Structure 1
Amino acid sequence: MGQYLSGAARADTALTAKPARSHAYAWLVFALIFALLLSDYMSRQVLNAVFPHLRLEWSLSDAKLGSLSGIVALMVGLFTVPFSLMADRWGRVRSLAVMALLWSCGTLACALSASYGHMLAARFFVGIGEAAYGSVGLAVILSIFPPSMRATLTGAFTSGGMFGAVLGMGLGGVVAARFGWRAAFMAMAVFGLIVVLIYCVAVTEARLARHAAGSPATRGQAVPGRVRPPLPALLGGLFWAPSLVCAYVGSGLQLFIAYAIMAWMPSYLNRYYDMPSDKATLLAAALLIVSGIGMTLCGMLTDRASRNAPARQLTLAILFCLVSCALLLAGFRLPPGTAQLLLIGLGMLLAMGTWGPAGAMVVGLSRPSTHATALAMLTLANNILGAAPAPYLTGLLADRIGLLGALQMVPLISLGAAVVFLIAKPRYLRDLRLAEARNETERTLA
């Protein structure tokens, strides 16, 4: 009897300890994939910190300097969806390792470049490596956490891009000033290579599958890569529901505002506050950090409010659009000063808050086996409707009515985003029920 009780006690202890270990492993995976996202954006943005050095050493024009940055954005735009599709079918975990290794080696090649042509080729491979990392990395993270954390994790993970951009420019500038521009690229490459080595040791497809099977929070979810639907069905599943399409469009429209303000804020501070360019850039970088914090906080609020009522995801997305619009409209109509900067900061805190709700919607409405591809479509919509046109169209408007006038008009686009989310709201629960029924079939097949 004593042996039986002892064995039962040990079994009970194992059962209670296993979820704790499983929970800790999930956060370890999150930390490593988040660290690689930091490396992604540090490698991408360090170039901006060394522009003056490259211009002086190689006598480059502004157009050539811009092309070194633009080639990465071009590769990301072209290959986000196809590479995410490949990762869904080949294996997300190993795909992440290959991506990180490629952009880290590309960044190392930047440090060894002897000419503009060499640097352009190296940046090409940096862009190829980074193309689908955000969508695939997020898909892996969401597969090992409970669905009730989707908006929080989407906002928290994506905010790493903001923090990585600030670190890349800030640390890159410091290293370049002390040790030269080659050392700045070298430092970013070494950081990426160290993290990818730790990632390869700690994260495998088999360990993730065991985690999903052993964790009460994720038990029953489909294991990524176990079910591979035909390509036509996979692509059709990216647009099958009206509310899914609305999530893409609404998110892209809302991010137009954030990207427009981030791009033009240094110029605005320089022209209307008479700030030197270095101080203007630092204050604009602070807004990036505020936006990153806002993405995380808004995601947490969304998960908490919609835990038993998924339709509240849309309610909060609409609220983030309307409140950020009101704050930014009011802010840019105040005279320059502390009150204006405070309102703009509060507006930017909420301006990217829709990323979490939109990401949760996309994941909930798409097949588990295609989450990376669906999130890539969300990223593509954010770039096509937001990041790509926002700086250019705002600049065109500024040429006609002045930069202040343009920034006073830009927040109105949030009203369009709110309307799109409002259109999705009455259809969302119906679409979600249909998606859950379809996903249950996929879980059975897995």
Structure 2
Amino acid sequence: MIAWGVGLWSAFTALGGLVQRFWQLFACRALVGIGEAGYGPASQALIAEYFRGQRRAFAIGVYSVGMAFGGVAGIWLGGELEQAYGWRAAFLAMGIPGFVLAVLASQLREPLQRRAASLWTTWRGSVERGVRRAAFYLRPLVILGLVGAAFGGVLALFEGVPSEVDAAVFGVFVTAGFAWTIWRLVPAAVRRTTEAGEVATTAFEDFLEAASFVLRTPTLIWVFVGGALVTFAANGLIAWAPSFMQRVHGMTVTQVGRNFGLWALVGSSLGALFGGRMGDALMRRWVGGRVLASGVGFVLGGPVCAALLLVDRPGFFVPLLFATFFFYTWYNGPLASVVLDVVPPQVRASVLGAFVLFSHLAGDALAGPVIGTISDRVGLRTAMLVLPAAGVVGGLATLGALRTVGQDMARVRE
């Protein structure tokens, strides 16, 4: 799963450099997201098997440093490549090396090998069952996506209509399709009463099992809500910070890549390591230690992020950028560990997958269009102040799990 996820992500990142139409770019980016969603939960579940107990949050924190390094270094290098060779070259350069990593990932082995059915039998059964269920549940998303594409295409034919309008119309229909799909999925998940140990054999049934387990676990409800809000805050800042630095501080693309890349990389790397270490240290003394480390970072980092967006002097901007990413990455290791602490091993990857899906759909998938829409009305600086507010609220929501995490952990041990 990890190798296939990395390979899919890399392939469609590279293909993004060859697109000619907006819908082609949208499709490539959507498939990149599918690859990320496939490899991320499986990776953290594998780490959980290697590192048990008190070292788990720090181990996931180290893993998160790799993501931070790749993400920020990609922004840095992408800016340099775009300036020198154009944006298409940047997509190709970022995607092709991933195939090497996919080959390396295919050599990973789980600590406890399980006897599995043949690859052909597993694949054929999964396809047959998955297609039937996917066709039923994804029908609203497909229909509304096609309707949105048709409306957007018609609007694009009229002169004088801004390009943002047809893109916004398409986005509204796709969002409605996602909402309708989730509305159909949730009742199905609630109706399932199978115990967590009776894990379904297909990926789709695993997802329904995970959703049902989440709805029965108070800690996970707090973590899912808080995770969506902090993802909105953190990834929204990553998405809009380059534009903010260009518009407000007058930086070039190269300057943005260098300044943002360097200081965000250093801050996020140190923050992820510190947060993981702190979460494990607190966990030795208190069952809510990892929850505390996850939420406090955003409660402290929110005011720092607000100051970052309000200062005008570059001399203050860079230290505040470093501090914001330092606080905003404390949660990377501990929050995933909290999820792993309150679910049995059989459904870890599925619950993590549901967490990633919900965090992105309700978090950073909304951050871009929400900030963009507000920016068109009141300006980018004012619009981006929504991000630190969401971060503080998300941190407080995560801290709500302090009341329930002990009971939920004890239930898993029984």
TM over 0.5: yes
**Which digits, 9 at most, give the CA deviation of each residue in 1:207-226, with x for residues without a partner?**
699xxxxxxxxxxxxxxxxx
Structure 1 residue 132 corresponds to structure 2 residue 108: no
Greater shift after overlay, 418-427 or 271-280? 418-427
Describe how 1:299-318 pairs up with structure 2 within 5 A. 299-318=276-295
Given that residues 332 and 404 in structure 1 are in contact (C-alpha distance below 8 angstroms), is that contact kept between their aligned partners in structure 2? yes
Counterpart residue number, 2:242: 266
- Quote how far apart the aligned CAs of 1:305 are: 1.9
Distance 2:38 2:356 in 1: 9
1:33-182 to structure 2, matched below 5 A, reads 45=13, 51=17, 54=18, 60-61=20-21, 63-64=22-23, 66-67=25-26, 69-73=28-32, 76=34, 127=35, 130-166=36-72, 181=89
**Which blocks of at least 5 consecutive residues in structure 2 are unaligned?**
116-196
- How many Å separate the matches in 1 of 2:269 and 2:25? 25
Q: Secondary structure at the match of 2:284?
A: coil
Q: Counterparts of 2:316 and 2:77 in 1: how far apart (Å)? A: 30
Give the Å deviation of 1:417.
1.2
CA distance in 2, matches of 1:415, 1:240: 26
Structure 1, residues 403-433: CA drift from partner, whole Å, max 9, x if none?
Answer: 1111233201123213312322222212221
Q: Which runs of 5+ in 1 are unaligned?
A: 1-32, 77-126, 210-226, 438-446
Q: Residue in 2 aligned with 1:285?
A: 261
How many angstroms apart in 1 are the aligned matches of 2:77 and 2:12?
13
- After superposition, the C-alpha distances for 1:65-116 in whole angstroms (9 at most, x for unaligned) are 6325423245x2xxxxxxxxxxxxxxxxxxxxxxxxxxxxxxxxxxxxxxxx
Alpha carbons of structure 1 residues 241 and 193: separation in structure 2 relative to 1, 3 Å: closer
Matched, 1:432 2:409: yes
Contact 2:222 2:401 in 1 (8 A): yes
1:140-167 CA-partner distances (Å, limit 9, x unpaired): 1101212212222223223433333355
TM-score after normalising by structure 1: 0.63
Contact 2:41 2:350 in 1 (8 A): yes
Write the distance in 1 (CA, Å) between the matches of 2:308 and 2:92.
41
Verify: 1:254 aligned to 2:230, yes or no. Answer: yes
The structure having more radius of gyration, on CA atoms, is 1
Give 1:424's aligned amino acid: A
Measured on the aligned residues, the alpha-carbon RMSD in Å equals: 3.5
Q: Relative to 1, partners in 2 of residues 1:305 and 1:140: Cα closer, same or farther, differing over 3 Å?
A: same
Report the alpha carbon displacement of residue 41 of structure 1 after superposing the two structures with TM.
6.3
Q: 1:142 to 1:151 in 2, by over 3 A?
A: same
Tell me if structure 1 keeps the 8 A contact 2:307–2:320: yes
Q: 1:323-372 CA distances to partner (integer Å, 9 max, x unpaired)?
A: 10121112222223121221122012111322322211111111111110
**Of residues 303, 325, 350 in structure 2, which corresponds to 1:373?**
350
Query: Match for residue 330 of structure 2?
Result: 353
- Describe the SS at the equivalent of 2:385: helix
Count matched residues: 323
Conserved 8 A contact 2:301-2:328: yes
Q: Deviations over 1:142-199 (max 9, x none)?
A: 0121221222222322343333335556667769959x95974784255235414543
Partner residue, 1:7: none
Classify 1:330/1:165 alpha carbon distance in 2 versus 1 (closer, same or farther; 3 Å).
closer
Could you say what secondary structure the match of 1:243 adopts? Answer: helix
CA-to-partner distance for each residue in 1:211-247, whole Å, 9 max, x for gaps?
A: xxxxxxxxxxxxxxxx644567655323322111101
Partner Cα separation in structure 2 for residue 415 and residue 357 of structure 1: 17
Structure 1 residues 293, 47: CA separation in 2 closer, same or farther (over 3 Å shift)? farther
Aligned partners of 2:228 and 2:360 also within 8 Å:
yes
- Aligned equivalent of 1:236, options 212, 225, 236: 212
Does the aligned pair in 2 maintain the 1:155–1:296 contact within 8 Å? yes
Report the CA distance between 1:385 and its aligned residue.
2.4
Partner letter of residue 212 of structure 2?
G
Contact 1:151 1:302 in 2 (8 A): yes
2: CA distance, partners of 1:421 / 1:185: 34
Q: What CA distance in whole angstroms lies between the structure 2 residues aligned with 1:39 and 1:283?
A: 30
Q: Which residue of 2 aligns with 1:112?
A: none
Equivalents in 2 of 1:36, 1:161: separation in Å?
18
Q: 1: distance between equivalents of 2:303 and 2:400? A: 21
- Percent identical pairs in the alignment equals 20
Counterpart code for 2:313: P
TM-score (norm 2): 0.67
CA separation in 2, counterparts of 1:323 and 1:37? 34
Deviations 1:263-315 (A, max 9, x none): 11111111122111222233333355232442232112111122231212222
CA distance in 1, matches of 2:294, 2:113: 35
Task: Tell me the CA shift for residue 46 of structure 1.
Answer: 5.3
1:364 aligns with 2:344: no
